[in-house]
Amino acid sequence: MVFALVALSLVAAQPALGGTGMFVGAADDGARSLDPLTAKAKMDRAAIAGFGVLRMTVIWSPGEQTVGGDDLVALRNASASAQLDGVRLILSIYSRDSRTTPLSSRARGEFAQFAASIARRFPAVRDFVVGNEPNLNRFWMPQFGPGGADLAARSYELLLAATYDALKSVSSDVNVIGGALSPSGQDKANSARQTHSPTVFIKDLGAAYRSTGRPRPIMDMFAIHPYVIPSRLPPSFAHPRTTTIGIVDYPKLVRLLTFAFAGTAQRGETLPIVYDEFGYQSLIPVRKRSVYQHLGAPAARDAISEALQATYYRQAFALAACQPTVAGLLIFHVADERDARGWQSGVYYADGTPKSSLAAVRDGALAAQGGTLGTCSMGKTTSNLGSVVFHEPTVTEPRMLGIDFSCALPCSYEAQIVDTRTGAVVTSIAGKAVGAQTVGLPADGLQAGRYQYVLRALKCGKPGTGEARFSRGFEVPLGTQIGTQTLPLPLLPLLPEARFPLPTLLPTVPAAA
């Protein structure tokens, strides 16, 4: 039903994907499923909404050093689905609650090795958020020590450093995302609910980092959850006299990061920022109320109309698009939670049908990703990749596949050809470039079948500026087989392609004669 309602709008919804945009996506665990077809259907839903990034969670438990069990299966399904749909997958790894906070050196080591095992097992996943809202007692304890000392910032810095080192041992191009802070907190050691504001936590995180004398960074990107509460307030609502941080408080956030890390090995002023949770709950219409539970809960009352939800999301995209060091924004969620004690901020109802806000949100998301949402006084420092063109195989010898792209500043890149049947990378090339670039990949050895381009690029030495582009599937037809390639055993679940063109995938164009 969802596909039928939105398919016609996708033809004209292709993003420009220039070097002035940012990523727009969602924080949602819907595609986290042991059933590969369910995972793929949920990923399709995100892609249809124009979300080019999906952030999923992985819960660490004390003693775990290697990903396995249901986590391994769910991540395999999600990774395969994301690749096929052209969605960049970000994983947020954290302990379940404050009772399992990794406080000891041993626990931090286990957590770090657990994260590294995921990066090693799933090389297509390059982005990892370390921890979740460590400034809140729900996820991190203790918050305070004797004399009101900020123990949370100190211990979180140690975890972030350990995980950074473990992930970088897998690949220097892995993007380590720190912070993931709640937008507000009390800063009262004697309060019944012990929390820190992001303003104080960032300062204390910088002080903790300085005190260790560490010669290496601890993160490539900084994340915050800039919710605006109550929902009647627009994303342009500022907090100039408080310690809360919203999207429009970007100058305050940059000043804090600059002050916290100035003169150290950790970037502050130019540190890429991601708003990795942001949401407006919408009112549930009468015809959909049977799909939800606990609609009388206090949390469900803070909701706005679907029209206003769409307006506020587009306003948020526009604000973030003109903030130079903001790399992206993630809506929380793709689809509503059925339990109204949770969050109903998606662009789909809990039964998977689209809200009236979907089309406007999708159009705004694609415009923000393409750098065409509005006119900004300053350009992005986090976006470097210009237009990308994927070519179909040449028909003359030597058989070649090709990509045209550009990097405004020196970048490192990796181009891959992926077999959509198995998820296997059948050929790849990596290098450095600046300006316009044409990359050719030999097609020797490709059997008849269906394949996909994947291009990843980042400013040289700066993983927090990483960007990804994916092509639609293309055919190497029968009768053009080259070589005697033997297909590997399936590495990933065999998944169907979406029934309609997805705005997260770029088309391929015929090769030059």
Q: Which pLDDT tens digit goes with each residue over 483-496?
A: 444 444 445 567 88
Higher pLDDT, 132 or 229: 132
Pair (463, 363) in one structural domain: no
Residue 5: its pLDDT value, please? 43
Q: Is a pLDDT exceeding 60 seen at residue 231?
A: yes
How far is the C-alpha of 512 from the C-alpha of 233, rounded, in Å? 53
Share of the chain above pLDDT 70, in %: 93
Residue 1: its pLDDT value, please? 45
Q: Which residues contact 335 (CB under 8 A, 6 or more apart)?
A: 28, 30, 45, 346, 347, 348, 349, 350, 352
The enclosing domain of 476 has a CATH number of 2.60.40.2550
Q: Using CB atoms within 10 A of its CB, is residue 436 exposed (0-12), middle (13-18) or buried (19+)?
A: exposed
Residue 18: its pLDDT value, please? 42
Pair (303, 408) in one structural domain: no
| Angstrom distances, CA of residue 430 to CA of 300, 311, 353, 456 | 49, 41, 41, 9
The mean pLDDT value for 78-104 works out to 95
Split at pLDDT 50, 70, 90, the class of 433 is very high
Q: Is a pLDDT exceeding 60 seen at residue 312?
A: yes
Q: Which residues contact 304 (CB under 8 A, 6 or more apart)?
A: 231, 232, 280, 281, 282, 283, 312
Pair (393, 360) in one structural domain: no
Q: Which two tokens stand for residue 465?
A: 């500026």
Q: Is a pLDDT exceeding 90 seen at residue 420?
A: no
How far is the C-alpha of 444 from the C-alpha of 384, rounded, in Å? 31
User: Cα 328 to the chain's mean position, in Å?
Assistant: 8
> Is residue 7 one of the residues assigned to a domain?
no
Per the prediction, the chain carries an average pLDDT of 91
The mean pLDDT value for 289-299 works out to 93
Q: Is 366 in contact with 322 (CB distance < 8 Å)?
A: no
Pair (75, 160) in one structural domain: yes
How far is the C-alpha of 83 from the C-alpha of 123, rounded, in Å? 11
Q: Is a pLDDT exceeding 60 seen at residue 40?
A: yes
Q: Which two tokens stand for residue 249?
A: 């408080």
Q: Is a pLDDT exceeding 70 seen at residue 205?
A: yes
Pair (35, 110) in one structural domain: yes
Residue 423: its pLDDT value, please? 80
The enclosing domain of 139 has a CATH number of 3.20.20.80
How far is the C-alpha of 465 from the C-alpha of 383, rounded, in Å? 6
Residue 486: its pLDDT value, please? 43
Pair (401, 330) in one structural domain: no
Pair (303, 161) in one structural domain: yes
Show the domain range for 501.
Answer: 389-509
Q: Is 24 in contact with 51 (CB distance < 8 Å)?
A: yes
User: Cα 482 to the chain's mean position, in Å?
Assistant: 37
The mean pLDDT value for 109-124 works out to 97
Q: Is a pLDDT exceeding 60 seen at residue 310?
A: yes
The mean pLDDT value for 352-365 works out to 97
Half-sphere exposure of 420 (CA within 13 A, CB side): 23
Q: Is a pLDDT exceeding 50 seen at residue 336?
A: yes
Inter-residue long-range contacts of 246-250, CB under 8 Å, 24+ positions, other chains counted: 246/183, 247/275, 247/278, 247/316, 247/319, 247/320, 247/329, 248/319, 250/319, 250/323, 250/326
Q: Is the peptide bond before 398 cis (omega within 30 degrees of 0)?
A: yes
Residue 334: its pLDDT value, please? 97
> Is residue 377 one of the residues assigned to a domain?
no
Q: Is a pLDDT exceeding 50 seen at residue 122?
A: yes
> Is residue 499 one of the residues assigned to a domain?
yes
Pair (415, 303) in one structural domain: no
Residue 443: its pLDDT value, please? 77
Split at pLDDT 50, 70, 90, the class of 103 is very high
Residue 490: its pLDDT value, please? 44
How far is the C-alpha of 194 from the C-alpha of 184, rounded, in Å? 12
Q: Which pLDDT tens digit goes with each residue over 359-391?
A: 999 999 999 999 999 899 888 999 999 999 999
| Angstrom distances, CA of residue 484 to CA of 24, 29, 453 | 41, 41, 21
The mean pLDDT value for 408-431 works out to 90
| Angstrom distances, CA of residue 136 to CA of 157, 186, 332 | 15, 9, 18
Split at pLDDT 50, 70, 90, the class of 6 is very low
User: Cα 100 to the chain's mean position, in Å?
Assistant: 25
Last residue of a domain, which of 370, 405, 440?
Answer: 370
Q: Is 48 in contact with 10 (CB distance < 8 Å)?
A: yes
Radius of gyration of the chain (CA): 22
Q: Is 298 in contact with 231 (CB distance < 8 Å)?
A: no
Pair (310, 452) in one structural domain: no
Q: Using CB atoms within 10 A of its CB, is residue 105 exposed (0-12), middle (13-18) or buried (19+)?
A: exposed
Pair (404, 503) in one structural domain: yes
> What is the number of domains present in the chain?
2
Q: Is a pLDDT exceeding 50 seen at residue 65?
A: yes
Pair (115, 197) in one structural domain: yes
Pair (466, 359) in one structural domain: no
